[in-house]
Structures are given as structure tokens and as C-alpha cells.
Amino acid sequence: MGRIFEVRKATMFARWDRMAKQFTRIGKEIVIAVKAGGPEPATNPALRRCYQNARSVGMPKDRVEAAIKRAMGKDTANYEEILYEGYAPHGVALLVETATDNHVRTVANVKSHFNKGGGALGNSGSVSFQFKKMGVFKLKPEGLNVDDLELELIDHGLDELGESTNENDESVLVLRCAFTDFGSLQKALEEKGITPISAELEWIPTTTVPVTDAQAEDVSKLIERLEQDEDVNKVFHNMG
């Protein structure tokens, strides 16, 4: 087991009204999950993932339930998930995940953010080949035999297990699997009675771009600008 470097380390970037942004993101994910797989977590793995992530950011249960009810309404907006690709200053690749009910507005805003931040929005496929989409589970290490857990989960798609820290500098275990194995690993954890702190689908870079502190600050400003957009859910980079 090694130490996992996380390219979306939240402590690297200032966030505007962090909690409200997270609640909005998860609310959209709930709508998408319910419309695709129904309102019952027992039969909807994507919705179970939303529940886990809601707990991880302290989203009240009544807000989660309200989001599910809204998703079942006829007048609820249909969100489309769109991935934008581009480059930040200094050759750093960015992937921008969005959930929008107006793609014309979103692409115009994302392009404007890139331009004002010294970057450039690219075409589909121009950046994503430098990343691989993976399932990422974070667990509390207390009470877990890490070596045994690793051996037991390999047959369920576990690709990598390592240590990291959260925003409060607390130790967490990070499990990664291929995108296609997300459901299998999620089910295996559930059967073992392990509730993840969070369960996400993330873009992990296959190579990284080394940057100086000053260059990282330039990139961080663009990422912060993008993350402040109401249609943007997550931003991934390949800074080394």
C-alpha cells in the first residue's frame, strides 16, 4: 500500500461558499440519478452514491429527500452532463464536468472562463486522452485491516489502495477502480458493511505536468473561476 496523490486536493484551491456549492452539485446528481434509475436507493446504485456523498459534506437528510421529490416532479429541469476539455496556462490540461439545463449558456461561460484565465477551451478528445476515468472511494481507516481488505477487494475490481488525508488533515484510505468496476466495488463494500466517506467518479491523469509555485497559482486562479460557475460540478487537472 502506498500514498495516493490526489489531483483534486480541495485544500489547494479557495472555494466560494463551499457548502452551498457542494449541496447544489449533489442536488443535481440526485436529480440525474432519480430520473435514470428511480427514487429507491436499494435498487439505484447511483442514488446510493449520492446519499454517501451528501453525508460526507453534511447535507441534511431533509434536503436530500426534497431533491428526490423534486426529481420526480414533471416540471423538474432535465440536467445534461457535459465534459469540457481545455488547457490552463503553462500547458496544464483541465477537464471540466458540468451538469446543465442550458448547454448554450454553459459552453459560453466555460469558454469565457478559460479565456479570462489565460487558458483555451479545446475540442472533445483534445485533453481527455491524458486522463482515465476511475471510481474513487474514501474510507475511514479505523477498524480496518488494510492488507486483508486489499486482498478481498481485488476480485471486485480494486485497482489501487493507498493512504491520503482529507481537508482536516485526517488520514483516509483511498480506493480506486476502473470506471466499469465502480458498481462491483461499491457492492462489495456494502456487503462487508463498510460505508464510504465518499464515492466519486474522477478523472485521474496518466501523466502530470511539473509546475512552479507561481505557475500553480496561475492555474489555480482559473480552476477557482471555473468552480465558481453554477453549472460546473468538478474540475480535474494534471499538475504535478
Residue percentage of the chain with pLDDT more than 70: 92
Bridge-based pairing state of the strands 93-100 and 232-237: antiparallel
| Per-residue pLDDT at 1 | 57
For the chain, list the domains and their CATH numbers.
12-72 (1.10.10.200), 80-129+206-237 (3.30.70.980), 131-205 (3.30.70.980)
Nearest to 50 by CA among 67, 23, 24, 30: 30
pLDDT digits (tens, 9 = 90+) for 2-22: 555 554 433 344 444 567 788
Range of 36-40, 59-63, 111-115 with top mean pLDDT:
111-115
As a whole number of angstroms, the distance between CA 104 and CA 100 comes to 9
Half-sphere exposure of 207 (CA within 13 A, CB side): 8
For 32-191, strand residue ranges (E) read: 80-87, 93-100, 120-121, 131-139, 158-165, 171-178
Angle at CA 21, nearest 5°, toward 19 and 22?
Answer: 65
Judged by average pLDDT, the poorest of 73-77, 137-141, 227-231 is 73-77
pTM of the shown model:
0.86
| Per-residue pLDDT at 9 | 38
| Cβ contact 28:52 at 8 Å | no
pLDDT-based confidence at 97, cuts 50/70/90? very high
As a whole number of angstroms, the distance between CA 207 and CA 93 comes to 10
Question: Does the structure show a pLDDT above 90 at 238?
Answer: yes
| Per-residue pLDDT at 5 | 55
